[in-house]
Structure 1
Amino acid sequence: MSIKTLVSLGLLVFIPISIAAKHWEWGSLTVFITSAIAIAPLAIWLSTATEEIAVVTGPSIGGLLNAVFGNATELIIALVALKEGLIDIVKASISGTIISNLLLVMGLSMLLGGLRYKEQEFQPVVARVNGSTMTLAVTALVLPALVTYSSGKVSTEQIGKISITAAVVLVVVYILTLVFSLKTHSYLYEVGLVEQEENKPQDAIEHSTKPNLWLWLGVLVVSTLAVAFESEIFVGAVEEATSGLGLTPLFTGVILLPLVGGAAEYVTAVRVAIKNNMDLSVSVAMGSSLLVALLVAPILVIVGQAIGQPMDLSFELFEVVAVTIAVAVANLISLDGRSNWLEGVLLLATYIILGAAFYFHPA
């Protein structure tokens, strides 16, 4: 049994602990910490179940499952927070997830992978496509904010209409990226999987058996429901706990929530980078950012309108600038298809500086 499996099993003990903390009112900070830790292994099991099902169903359906469930934890937490009316935190979590995936996850992957291998390579074509698509997503975030800040006459209703229009366009673009990556240009995205198979010992390949589909479907369903349940506990305590620590909703959404919801992607991206599979690592980091920008954010806008918690894409100007910086730095570093430990340090340094700025921002 792998260390990842042992850790994810061991951390499940925090599920009953978080329930007890809420039931016996051990304090909002205790509930916040225990539920956050409980979500992490659930996210890992949800991700693992998706990967195992993908092995059985094949690359096309498996790729679609990964595309849909890749950020299921972040989406569930955001939907619960949106239902509770924590719109500022939800918006901040969207920009925070993009920033953390592009800077923190890619930075750690390039640093730790670069310490083991002098230089690592990945498909520059995939990085360019992802970078171009992320630029569109940033445009969709920038324009509503610019309209808000450049015009004193624009109404909330008009911003809502702009956001709905942008949300629909982003969803369409996301569907087209799936067609591109899973159908018309799937060969560009298969390099990481091929390298993984090539790195397996021959006896492991010969004696390996396909996973139990129904078992992993059960794990997927249970993990999803458990994440939703724990998210209710987590979101119920997040505002009081973080304000008690002197943290703003902006810092909570941008820094803390992505760390809780993105544990599975972080572990996967860093683990495969250390195994010299930077193609897969970069795809996980950039693909997760794309999923949030092109699908999760639009879904939250549309659902918010439906449930009476109107959310738009008019982010704080500071958030927009931070996301733009993250996308620009990540694109510049990834364009050549090569990475080393110093580039990882540059990405992490950018993340730390932005994190400090969000911490001291008085929002």
Structure 2
Amino acid sequence: MPFKTLIPLILLIFVPLSIAADLLHWGETVIFFTSALAIVPLSIWLSTATEKVAVVTGPSIGGLVNAIFGNATELIISLVALKEGLIDIVKASITGTLLSDLLLLMGIAMLAGGIRYKEQKFQPILAQVNGSSMTLAVTAIALPTLVINTSNVVDTVAIRNLSLVAATVLIIVYGLTLVFSLGTHSYLYDIGLADEEPAEISPDSTPTNPRSKLFFWVAVLLASTVAVAFESDLFVDVVDSETSRIGLTPLFTGVILLPLISDVAAFVMMVRLSIKNKMDLTVATATGDSLLVALFVAPVLVFVGQLIGQPIDLNFNPFQVIAVAIAVAITNLITFNGRSNWLDGSLLLATYIVLGVAFYYHPA
């Protein structure tokens, strides 16, 4: 069994352990750590199943599968936290996922690939298109914050309505990006299948049809989604009290801790792709994931919050808006020319570390 498959299987032991910790009342600390560790392998299986289903079903359906399940772990955790009323953590997790995708994931990929190759190349058009969309997303997300911080009187209803309008525009823009990437300009995204391994060869030297495993991977996808939702419920129930006990603010918990737990699968995939010198796919994945969060996940949370009686708006902490703007600007500058090296990766990681320390000491 491949090493990359064995590790997620071993880590699944934390799923029954977290359930036992909850049923047998082993304490909130044990539930916190076991459920967090259980989410890690489940997110890996969810990510793997999403990739397999997307490849087998082809670019159009596969693109929609990626759009729906590409950031499913982050969305599920955020929805569960929103249901529990942890609005500050939910808002912070949106910021944290964007920073993680643009700085941490991209930085690790460029550093790992740059150590092996002197210089790596990718299509700059991918980074430019996604960078333009991210700039729009950051602008829309920042508007409610700017209105509050430039007004003498804050009207809660007005901010909520502005957030709903901005969320609607962002979802429409996300739909347009799907039309662009899957329809009118799909040739720019043909690199999406570049990492797929050749068809397996059976003992009689006959290639195995990957579609024969479609139902298996669909089952894994659905089972992983349900399991992530269950473990997220356990985790969210204790995350506020446990992080407060160890001295972490909701801001730091959402910006740094939650993305580190939910993005493990992405870390592994990005390093694997960059070492294989597949930087087109690496850059497209990192920027595409950040677009999914900014243009789809964040607006969905706004609308869901209204429906379940936990209203959430796009009024972020000003420092969060500044941090995301910094991440978008630096990522756009580094990816603009279609080349990367280990120093570019180091600069992205350094930016993430400095921002992470700043969030740790931020009193909000």
Category of TM-score, reference length = shorter chain: over 0.9
Q: State the match for 1:52 in structure 2.
A: 52
Q: State the match for 2:253 in structure 1.
A: 252
CA distance in 1, matches of 2:29, 2:271: 29
Q: State the match for 2:142 in structure 1.
A: 142
Cα contact 1:192–1:277 (8 A) shared by 2: no
CA distance in 1, matches of 2:279, 2:198: 16
Once the two structures are superposed, residues 295-339 of structure 1 have per-residue CA deviations (whole angstroms, 9 ceiling, x without a partner) of: 000000000011100000000001000000011111100001110
Q: Cα offset for 1:26? A: 2.4
CA distance in 2, matches of 1:192, 1:158: 41
User: 1:153 is paired with a residue of what secondary structure?
Assistant: coil
User: 1:254 is paired with a residue of what secondary structure?
Assistant: helix
CA distance in 2, matches of 1:180, 1:309: 34
Amino-acid identity (%)? 64
Q: Does 1:106 align with 2:106?
A: yes
Residue identity matched to 2:23: H
Cα contact 1:142–1:320 (8 A) shared by 2: yes
Cα contact 1:80–1:232 (8 A) shared by 2: yes
Spell out the pairing of 1:75-90 with structure 2 (5 A cutoff): 75-90=75-90
Q: State the match for 2:244 in structure 1.
A: 243
Spell out the pairing of 1:1-363 with structure 2 (5 A cutoff): 1-194=1-194, 196=195, 207-211=207-211, 212-363=213-364
Task: Give the ranges of 4+ consecutive aligned residues of structure 1 lying more than 3 Å apart after TM superposition.
Answer: 199-206
Q: Cα offset for 1:116? A: 0.6
Once the two structures are superposed, residues 88-122 of structure 1 have per-residue CA deviations (whole angstroms, 9 ceiling, x without a partner) of: 00000000000011000000000001001111111
Q: Cα offset for 1:202? A: 11
Once the two structures are superposed, residues 32-73 of structure 1 have per-residue CA deviations (whole angstroms, 9 ceiling, x without a partner) of: 111111011111111111111122211110111011110001
Once the two structures are superposed, residues 263-313 of structure 1 have per-residue CA deviations (whole angstroms, 9 ceiling, x without a partner) of: 222221121111110111111111111000000000000000111000000
Give the length in aligned residue pairs: 361
Q: Cα offset for 1:23? A: 2.1
User: 1:190 is paired with a residue of what secondary structure?
Assistant: helix
Cα contact 2:32–2:235 (8 A) shared by 1: yes
User: 2:13 is paired with a residue of what secondary structure?
Assistant: helix
Cα contact 2:133–2:291 (8 A) shared by 1: yes
Q: Cα offset for 1:208? A: 4.4
Cα contact 2:199–2:207 (8 A) shared by 1: no
CA distance in 2, matches of 1:360, 1:88: 16
Residue identity matched to 2:260: L
Cα contact 1:55–1:210 (8 A) shared by 2: no
TM-score by length of 2: 0.96
CA distance in 1, matches of 2:219, 2:135: 37
Residue identity matched to 2:64: L
Gaps of 5+ in 2: none
CA distance in 1, matches of 2:267, 2:190: 20
Residue identity matched to 2:341: N
The two structures, once aligned, show a CA RMSD in angstroms of: 1.7
Once the two structures are superposed, residues 77-98 of structure 1 have per-residue CA deviations (whole angstroms, 9 ceiling, x without a partner) of: 0000000000000000000000
User: 1:311 is paired with a residue of what secondary structure?
Assistant: coil
Cα contact 2:11–2:37 (8 A) shared by 1: yes
